[in-house]
Amino acid sequence: MAEIVWSVKAYEHIEEIAAFIEKDSTFQARRVVQLMIKETRRLKENIRIGKIISEIHDDKFRELRVFSYRIFYKILNENKVAIIGILHGRRLFDTEWVE
């Protein structure tokens, strides 16, 4: 079972997403965040369930999808994964996250 760690940037992203959605619906904001967390927990069982990030083409950088959001993660080793950022699918990916 793999360990999942969250970067500071990923925490900031999820808080920003929740605050944005909460302007319209507290319920939906909570629902989206809960689904994002639930999806990342699946990585404990299989670290390679996400697809390779198309902008990088590196097997250790992958993404999961929740609604229109891309959850980026890095495989640190076979027992540890880092969530490195979350981005709406219409926004541009920042390659600085992978440095």
Show pLDDT as tens, one digit a residue, over the chain (99 residues): 999 999 999 999 999 999 999 999 999 999 999 999 999 999 999 999 999 998 888 999 999 999 999 999 999 999 999 999 999 888 777 776 565
Position 75 in a domain = yes
Position 70 in a domain = yes
Measured between alpha carbons, how far is 82 from 80 in angstroms, rounded to an integer? Answer: 7
CB 73 within 8 A of CB 40: yes
Residue 88 CB neighbours (<10 A)? 12
CATH number where 23 lies: 3.30.2310.20
Position 14 in a domain = yes
Position 88 in a domain = yes
Residue 57 CB neighbours (<10 A)? 8
Position 99 in a domain = no
Position 43 in a domain = yes
Position 13 in a domain = yes
Q: Which domain holds residue 39?
A: 3-92
Task: Report how many domains make up the chain.
Answer: 1
> Residue 57: left if φ>0, alpha if ψ -120 to 50, beta else—which one?
left
CA nearest 43: which of 86, 1, 85? 1
pTM tops 0.85: yes
Which residues, in sequence order, are bridge partners of residue 64? Answer: 71
